[in-house]
Structure 1
Amino acid sequence: MTSDGIVVEPMDAAAALAAVEAFTLVYAEVFAEPPYDEDAADVAAAFERFPTQTRRPGFAAALARTGTGEPVGMAFGHALTPETAWWDELTVPVPEAMRREDGERTFALMEFAVREAWRGRGVAQRLHTALLAQVRAERVLLNVHQEAAPAMRAYRSWGYERVGEAKAWGVGDLHDVMILTLRPDGG
């Protein structure tokens, strides 16, 4: 536990599934805010996918809670398989060398959120660090809503670089596609 009383717990799939209510609470609160404006149906759809996501190779998660157990932030993702459609969603194609996936090369950061009352306290940085400590991939890939300026600033400060833009699943608002190189030599 840190001086602010927040505990960040790295989690495997079983632990994340056991804490699904905490993940859902954080997601529902954060993604109800603009620019996301997600409603209860969106949250339900996101967490219908959660059990499947936890079974994907390379799944890792982190959950931040107060000393009393109140969830304040969450992050999770998994490795991209060679069959991923992620790269097909970009508005401008990237070079084949960037698109290459082998099931271990890229960790896809699927969701990352910190509840408003705990922002500005370093919780996001601690979540990110705890999550990536579990990742063995060469790089991390994520989509960030183009109007989510605080998230964009955080990702840039952590070393992510924009490689293009996409509409998730081919619909909705544009997102910047960003990559963080963890091991530039691939090893």
Structure 2
Amino acid sequence: MSESLLQLVRADRYREVRSLLLDVYREIYADEGQVFHNVDRFAERADMYASLDGWSAVLGRTGDNGGGVTGYAFGAPLPTGSAWWNSAADPLPGDFTREDGRRTFAVFEVMVRRPWRGTGEAHRLHERLLHDRPEQRATLLVNAAHPAVRQRYEQWGYRALGDQRPFADAPVYTMMLREPLHG
């Protein structure tokens, strides 16, 4: 399988790619059956994330004429006063969780369609998303029920900080941090 072309998308173009993001999400979570993973709930979260200053996405595009999508990654800097760390099972120190809109980049989603899994596509999307970021560190959440995914992020330089449930109907997630962001 040939390497995909990576397309960087900024917030001003979110509406142009929104339906594509939802279609890939629908494909990946079609059999989950959880309310939290419902496409409409994801759409609400995606819209909220895309409204944050500095939101960006990277889409993997196939080289064929149809311009198919291999997957995507998107995120944004955590804004001043962010509640990102508030639902930690074991509270983290205040100086660690204090956000100013420039300190921490949150990777909200990394999704790869089935034909491109195991090819390194997720890593390529993730690294391109972080490539030009000025923030000091990156954070993401990984479903605690998926230890193999957690291990993959650890190989990419993240470390686990503990667990949280960010929404009442969400699964338990492991909070992960990559510091420094580059290097």
Of 133, 139, 142, the residue aligned with 1:141 is 139
Taking structure 1 as the reference length, what is the TM-score of the superposition? 0.86
The amino acid that maps onto 2:43 is: F
Report whether the alignment pairs 1:10 with 2:8. Answer: yes
> How far did residue 116 of structure 1 move?
1.4
Give unpaired runs (5+ residues) of structure 2.
Answer: none
Give the alignment of 1:76-155 within 5 angstroms.
Answer: 76-155=74-153
Report whether the alignment pairs 1:42 with 2:38. Answer: yes
The amino acid that maps onto 1:58 is: G
The range that moved more, 44-53 or 73-82, is: 44-53
Distance 2:109 2:39 in 1: 12
Distance 2:152 2:4 in 1: 19
Deviation per residue, 1:134-170 (Å, 9 max, x gap): 3211111111001223321221110000011000224
> How far did residue 173 of structure 1 move?
1.9
Q: Aligned in 2, Cα 1:85/1:40: closer, same or farther, shift over 3 Å?
A: closer
Q: Aligned in 2, Cα 1:115/1:147: closer, same or farther, shift over 3 Å?
A: same
Identity of aligned residues (%): 31
* 1:65 counterpart residue number: 61
Give unpaired runs (5+ residues) of structure 1.
Answer: none
Taking structure 2 as the reference length, what is the TM-score of the superposition? 0.88
Distance 2:139 2:50 in 1: 17
Name the Cα RMSD after superposition. Answer: 2.2
Distance 1:174 1:52 in 2: 21
Distance 1:59 1:116 in 2: 25
Q: Aligned in 2, Cα 1:40/1:32: closer, same or farther, shift over 3 Å?
A: farther
The range that moved more, 23-32 or 105-114, is: 23-32
> How far did residue 37 of structure 1 move?
4.3
> How far did residue 38 of structure 1 move?
4.5
Deviation per residue, 1:22-63 (Å, 9 max, x gap): 211221122335xx5456972122113433322211211101
- Secondary structure in 2 aligned to 1:169? coil
- Secondary structure in 1 aligned to 2:118? coil
* 2:26 counterpart residue number: 28
